[in-house]
Amino acid sequence: MTTKKTFYTPEKMVSDVVLHKLTEIRQGRNISGGHMVSIDTLSHEDIDLILGIADVFHEAKSEKIRVLSGHTIINAFFEDSTRTRSSFELAAKHLGADTLHITSSGSSTKKGESLLDTALTLTALQASAVVVRSGYAGLPQFLSRYLPIPVLNAGDSWHEHPSQALLDVKTMRDHHGKLEGKVVTIIGDIVHSRVTGSLLRILQKLNVRVRICCPETLLPKSISQFGVQHFARVEDAVENTDVVYAMRVKAEYGAKGFLPSLREYARDYCVTPKRFVLAHKNAILMDAGPVIRGLSVSDALMTHDRCRVLEQVENGLAVRKALLWLMVDRKGEVQNS
Ligand code: CP
């Protein structure tokens, strides 16, 4: 006998329109693989499915859609975070899941327990998925080989930040529509940036032309595999571009040691109104945050009508709801009563 799932909020029944749209888009489909640790594993269809579902969740705003009722999501954040941590947590709660938060301070990793043993311990608490942020590149991939539940990468060191790349593509599509052939210019600390690591991968899949602008010292050796153009001057890099993406200088990874001084860096690489105006007249300004005003983006641009920094945060919530639903509920059935 099949049991019928029902999704009530204390206040009201979730609108049939939202559930109908989710059913129509999902059609019982899943994305490739049982984990979400890298953009590399996603196909075009996967990206469209995630972003299609995210669009519905975005329209539904904070409406509770309890498709993950009875599930527990673990947020294991071994590095600081505001946006990613809070949006994953809120996403799980909006979907009716219980959440459990763990950081390195206050956990038994401090007493010498390995990260794998910590993760296995948490899994034994009947969790349905674990979201991991770590200062160790490759930790989410490593855990995904040993844990019996889905692992979602919430940013691993200099390596990747796949949910950020997905929310960034949603933000670009919301403004520009189809992205094929568009030009995205990424300015800043490329070598230490996991956001860039995932963004380059996803933009390459979507046939977006990418320009990189940074000092040679912040340019990774592996950049050639992504077929990007490198520019030394911001004025040249942003000319007629469709997206200007400022990438924060990652002081916590020692980026200052790669620069003559932060003042010199800001003079040459900060996105200012004078530089932004050289981009296409419909260009948007993006920054994954935290935004370091006056270093990566000038204060004046943060209130520009084409600055999309807060939309990125808003889209993060919708994209992470889509990812949690897809990863945890492999049947993807939604029904109202
Ligand atoms: N963009 C991003 O990853 O921000 P947090 O470090 O605040 O999560």
3-state secondary structure the chain: CCCCCCCECCCCECCHHHHHHHHHHHCCCCCCCCCECCHHHCCHHHHHHHHHHHHHHHHHCCCCCCCCCCCEEEEEECCCCCHHHHHHHHHHHHCCCEEEEEECCCCHHHHCCCHHHHHHHHHCCCCCEEEEEECCCCHHHHHHHHCCCCEEEEEECCCECHHHHHHHHHHHHHHHCCCCCCEEEEEECCCCCHHHHHHHHHHHHCCCEEEEECCHHHCCHHHHHHCCEEECCHHHHCCCCCEEEEECCCHHHCHHHHCCCHHHHHHHHCECHHHHCCCCCCCEEEECCCCCECCCECHHHHHCCCECHHHHHHHHHHHHHHHHHHHHCCCCCCCCC
Q: Is the CB of 128 under 6 A from ligand 1?
A: no
Q: Relative to the CA of 312, which ligand 1 atom is closest? A: 1
In this structure, the residue with its CA closest to atom 3 of ligand 1 is 84
Give the model confidence (pLDDT) of 163-190 as tens digits.
999 999 999 999 999 999 999 999 999 9
In this structure, the residue with its CA closest to atom 6 of ligand 1 is 81
In this structure, the residue with its CA closest to atom 4 of ligand 1 is 83
Q: Is the CB of 86 under 6 A from ligand 1?
A: no
Between 10 and 160, residue with greater pLDDT: 160
For residue 337, what pLDDT is reported?
A: 43
Q: Is the CB of 84 under 6 A from ligand 1?
A: yes
pLDDT beyond 90 at 322: yes
In the reported structure, the alpha carbon of residue 155 is separated from the centroid of ligand 1 by a whole-number distance in angstroms of 8
Q: Is the CB of 131 under 6 A from ligand 1?
A: no
In the reported structure, the alpha carbon of residue 255 is separated from the centroid of ligand 1 by a whole-number distance in angstroms of 17
Give the model confidence (pLDDT) of 4-20 as tens digits.
555 555 445 678 889 99
pLDDT beyond 90 at 335: no
pLDDT beyond 60 at 125: yes
Q: Which residues contact 109 (CB under 8 A, 6 or more apart)?
A: 78, 115, 118
Q: Is the CB of 185 under 6 A from ligand 1?
A: no
Give the model confidence (pLDDT) of 288-318 as tens digits.
999 999 999 999 999 999 999 999 999 999 9
pLDDT beyond 60 at 48: yes
Q: Which of 84, 86, 248 to mutate to test the pocket of ligand 1 (most atoms within 8 A of CB)?
A: 84
For residue 201, what pLDDT is reported?
A: 97
Tell me the average pLDDT across 150-172.
97
Tell me the average pLDDT across 227-254.
95
Q: Quick one: pLDDT band at residue 253, thresholds 50, 70, 90?
A: confident
Q: Which residues contact 310 (CB under 8 A, 6 or more apart)?
A: none
Q: Is the CB of 162 under 6 A from ligand 1?
A: no
Q: What is the CA radius of gyration of the chain?
A: 20
For residue 254, what pLDDT is reported?
A: 81
Nearest-angstrom CA–CA distance, 54 and 155: 20
Tell me the average pLDDT across 97-111.
88
Q: Relative to the CA of 82, which ligand 1 atom is closest? A: 7
For residue 9, what pLDDT is reported?
A: 52
Which has the minimum average pLDDT: 95-104, 233-242, 274-283, 307-316? 95-104
In the reported structure, the alpha carbon of residue 291 is separated from the centroid of ligand 1 by a whole-number distance in angstroms of 10
Q: Quick one: pLDDT band at residue 58, thresholds 50, 70, 90?
A: very high
Q: Quick one: pLDDT band at residue 155, thresholds 50, 70, 90?
A: very high
For residue 255, what pLDDT is reported?
A: 78
**pTM (whole model) above 0.85:** yes
In the reported structure, the alpha carbon of residue 261 is separated from the centroid of ligand 1 by a whole-number distance in angstroms of 24
pLDDT beyond 90 at 84: yes
pLDDT beyond 60 at 268: yes
For residue 115, what pLDDT is reported?
A: 87
pLDDT beyond 70 at 2: no
For residue 303, what pLDDT is reported?
A: 98
In the reported structure, the alpha carbon of residue 81 is separated from the centroid of ligand 1 by a whole-number distance in angstroms of 5
| Mean of per-residue pLDDT scores for the chain | 93
